[in-house]
Amino acid sequence: MEYIIRSASELDANGINKVSEHLGYSQLSSTESTTKLQELLHSTQDQVFVAEWQGQIIGWLHLFYARRLASDNFFEIGGLVVSPESRGHGVGRALVQYAQAKNLGKFRVRCDEKRLDAHKFYESIGFNVKKVQCVFQG
């Protein structure tokens, strides 16, 4: 499978939305997905990369720069999804490596404790568990 990794464009919104369904994200309307992508593409803190194969989006990665007052700043992977039929071909690894090549610094990612497959994936590409935490929402 030969795919390309590149920065996302506004034209990728529907493809990104379709791939996102595979992780149980709620399906957005075409307008909503385009608006969300536009916001990220126009942000100085966010980046979105896509994997494309034969004109179709097969994966995406959202990266943002997290500034901290009392600790080191870092890049955080806000989302990484690869379509089920494209898994096992190095797409996720290629997306992460592309993001790392474009951004020097520390990288982090948060995973739901139940997503053991994601834990194994990140460990296989060199990420280590730093801490376990609770997320509170108000």
Which residues are paired to 47 by β-bridges?
63
Q: What are the residues whose beta carbons fall under 8 Å from the beta carbon of 100, sequence distance 6 or more?
A: 107
Write out the residue range of the structural domain in which residue 38 sits.
4-124
CATH number at residue 95: 3.40.630.30
Q: What is the domain count for the chain?
A: 1
Give the residue among 86, 66, 76, 68 at the shortest CA–CA distance from 122. Answer: 76
Per-10-residue mean pLDDT, the chain, length 138: 95 93 73 92 97 97 97 96 95 98 96 92 96 90
Q: Is residue 65 part of a domain?
A: yes
Q: Is residue 82 part of a domain?
A: yes
Q: What's the confidence (pLDDT) of residue 23?
A: 72
Give the residue among 18, 19, 47, 46 at the shortest CA–CA distance from 30. Answer: 18
Q: Is residue 130 part of a domain?
A: no
